[in-house]
Structure 1
Amino acid sequence: FYIYAALGSYLFKDINPFLWENIARSMLTLFRVMTFEDWTDIQYETMEVYPWSWLFYMTFIFLTAFAFLNMVIGIVVNVMDKESRLELQACEQELEQSREQQLNEQIAGLRSEITELKQLIVKQGGHGTSNDAS
């Protein structure tokens, strides 16, 4: 960005000092070009003096568009990855809680069955109905 601003200031300041007077103003102009805000007006103005100046704008747009696009895509992918991990963690915690609840229910059921079996054994042992042949 800085290199293009310096080059634009050097090449085009005589054509339109308002847009290319110094590097700071050139950077603002290039930002305008990068965001496609009436950039063709700027390009056609410089092409009247330097017909090859379209190369300056096209290379700048391609480089900044690819860099900007990659940055935005990187941010979006990063955010989506982070959200996906958070959702996965939440699902894992929910699954773990569900498993714990099932285990607790199974343990409670087994305890209940053991209690019933103990009561049956005590009843049978108390009546002397054991049919064991010793």
Structure 2
Amino acid sequence: MIISGFAGIGKSTLAKKSYEVIDLESSIFKKDWELYSETAKYLDEQGYDVLISAHKEIRTKLHDKGIKYTFVLPSNTEKSKNEYLDRYRLRGNTDSFIYNMMENWNSYHEILPWENDVVTLRDGDYLADWYYSI
């Protein structure tokens, strides 16, 4: 399974808890979405659950290549936005990262036209809460 997850939902934390889950950090791919999508697909085919970023570009690349994924994001509420602001501060994100996430909060919640496998986390929940319930 490939899970495209919003920043701060707990992808890295989940991957640390299970040897079957890989957090495929996007920054090392330097926006080479072709290589990133192929790597995610390969790892998925090897039986891993692969956690990837939620950038629209990678979700579009996956769709264009016919690669199935689930998009997981927090609820788009003011309460959730404040919760994620706290999460970003606690994990030590830079001011520019935090500003970007808060400024673009609504646009980062955009569900693309073809996306029908979407999970919206409840306020206070992390990826692991959903992942271990399926």
TM-score tier by shorter-chain length is under 0.3
Q: Which has the higher contact order (CA 8 A, sep 6+)?
A: 2
Q: Which is richer in helix? A: 1
Q: Which protein is bigger by CA-based radius of gyration?
A: 1
